Amino acid sequence: MMLSFHVYLAWMGTLLIMVHAGVHFNAVLPWSGFISMLLVVISGLVGAYLLKDAKNTLRIKYAYLLDQGYSKEQVEKKVFLDASTVKAMAKWRLVHKPITLLFSILVTLHIITVLMFWSWFQ
């Protein structure tokens, strides 16, 4: 439930930032914000997809080997490397979370500075 909400907010935030930044080819700040947002979104989507795919592949291989008549211990030995790979891939969050945190801090600072200097724009 929370992951679905997180993904929904990420897509909405992405659309809002795209609209807010506009397409200013000569402006560095909107492009840097857009690129950092893309890094966050791409790291989330790629990591989630690869992890889900690896877990499904492991589950299918495990079930297939059990159907072939292997004992549970034999199956666990045969899928050990695959299971270790899935476990290592689960650590993609170690990359995604700091990138997301940094991006969130930058967005918050952007909002605060706009509110502080709002009178300059009127």
CA distance 73 to 61: 14
Share of the chain above pLDDT 70, in %: 96
Q: What is d(CA 53, CA 68) in angstroms, rounded to the nearest whole number?
A: 22
Give the structural domain span for 93: 2-121
Place of tokens 């992890």: 51
pLDDT tens figures, 44-100: 888 888 888 888 999 999 999 999 998 988 988 888 988 888 888 888 888 888 888
Number of domains in the chain: 1
Q: What is the separation, in whole angstroms, between the first and last Cα of the chain?
A: 42
pLDDT at 24: 67
